[in-house]
Structure 1
Amino acid sequence: MSTIYVMEAANLFAGDHDPTASKHLSLAELKLPPLQEMYQEHHAGGSRVQIEVAVGIQKLEPTFKLNGWDPDLLTQFGLGSSRQKVFTAYGVIRDKRTGLAIEAKAIIEGRLGKIEPDAFQRGELQGHEYAINEVMHYELWFNEKEKLFWDFFSSEWRLDGISQNDDERRILRVQR
């Protein structure tokens, strides 16, 4: 039976180790990374038609915007922070047919690579746009089910909990 799922609310934790790292009061915008394949064009010598061949997936770059200033996030920025951080986003997704609230969760390991303040204008709420770069791990969960899992260091790629590259990892002797 068809339905429609609508996100109604979101929260972001900038550091899972700290339960006070919730950004629910200042979160204005959250954008999970676009999933986009990379293609290479190929026109074979014996072919009349050029094709494109999938050769990988483009880098993942999630972004978010917070209203106001966040001095704790300023200290997580850039090269001064040698380790990656864990960012966990939660969303309340509403099944419009049943009215049921469903949890969406994204776990992202990366570096806070960009902080861009809005121009200050008296009488308006100034915000800051942030980008998470150097993403090395990404998980997307819907209704407590793993939909997507990728980890750079283990070369693991799963969709709906099913490995998409076990054969490749086995042949290359890449351990989990």
Structure 2
Amino acid sequence: MSTIYIMEAANLFCGDHDPTASKHLTLTELQLPALQEMYQDHHAGGSRVQIEVAVGIQKLEPTFKLAGWDPDLLTRFGLGASRASVFTAYGVVRDKRTGVAHEAKAIMEGRLGKVEADTFQRGEMMGHGYAINEVMHYELWFADREKLYWDFYSTDWRLDGVSQNDDERRILRIPTTG
């Protein structure tokens, strides 16, 4: 049966599930990373028509915007932060047909690579935009079901919990870890 799912609210934890890392009071925008394949054009010598061939997936770059200043988050920026951080986003997604609220969850491991302050204008709230770069791990869950999983170090890529590259990892003798 057809329905429509609408995101009604979101929260972001910068530093996993530490309750003090919740951004629910200042989060104004959350952009999950674009999922975009990379293609290479190919025009075979014996073909009249050029084709494109999928050769991978572009880097993941989630962004978010917070109202006001966040001095604690600034310390996670750049090369001074020796390790990647875990960012966990939660969303309330409502099924408009049934009224049931579902949890959407994205787990992203990367570096806080960009902090961009809004222009200050008297009488308006100044905020900051942030980008998570060097993403090495990404999970997307909907209603307690894993929809997408990718991990750079294990090279695992799963859709709906099913590995998409077990054969490749087996042939290349890459250990299965998860």
Please tell me the TM-score bracket, short chain as reference. Answer: over 0.9
Number of residue pairs aligned between Structure 1 and Structure 2: 176
1:169 is paired with a residue of what secondary structure?
A: helix
Report the RMSD for the aligned CA atoms in angstroms: 0.5
Whichever residue aligns with residue 126 of structure 1, its letter is M
Equivalent position of 1:99 in the other structure: 99
Equivalent position of 1:35 in the other structure: 35
TM superposition shift of 1:17: 5.0
Equivalent position of 1:164 in the other structure: 164
1:168 is paired with a residue of what secondary structure?
A: helix
TM superposition shift of 1:19: 1.8
Q: Following the alignment from structure 2 to structure 1, what is the Cα–Cα distance between the partners of residues 62 and 113?
A: 11
**Residue 46 of structure 2 corresponds to residue 49 of structure 1:** no
Q: Following the alignment from structure 1 to structure 2, what is the Cα–Cα distance between the partners of residues 43 and 135?
A: 33
**Residue 116 of structure 2 corresponds to residue 116 of structure 1:** yes
TM superposition shift of 1:16: 1.1
1:78 is paired with a residue of what secondary structure?
A: coil
- Residues 61, 133 of structure 2: 8 Å contact kept: yes
Equivalent position of 1:174 in the other structure: 174
Q: Following the alignment from structure 1 to structure 2, what is the Cα–Cα distance between the partners of residues 82 and 95?
A: 41
1:123 is paired with a residue of what secondary structure?
A: coil
Q: What does the per-residue CA deviation read over 1:84-139, in whole Å, with 9 as the maximum and x for residues that have no partner?
A: 00000000000000000000000000000000000000000000000000000000
Equivalent position of 2:2 in the other structure: 2
Q: Following the alignment from structure 2 to structure 1, what is the Cα–Cα distance between the partners of residues 17 and 147?
A: 24
Q: What does the per-residue CA deviation read over 1:43-97, in whole Å, with 9 as the maximum and x for residues that have no partner?
A: 0000000000000000000000000000011000000001000000000000000
TM-score, length-normalised on structure 1? Answer: 0.99
Percent of counterpart pairs with the same letter?
81
Q: Following the alignment from structure 1 to structure 2, what is the Cα–Cα distance between the partners of residues 102 and 17?
A: 19
Give structure 1 regions of 4+ aligned residues with deviation exceeding 6 angstroms.
Answer: none
Whichever residue aligns with residue 166 of structure 1, its letter is D
Q: Structure 2 stretches of 5 or more lacking a match?
A: none
2:79 is paired with a residue of what secondary structure?
A: helix
Q: Following the alignment from structure 2 to structure 1, what is the Cα–Cα distance between the partners of residues 143 and 136?
A: 24
Equivalent position of 2:70 in the other structure: 70
Equivalent position of 1:82 in the other structure: 82
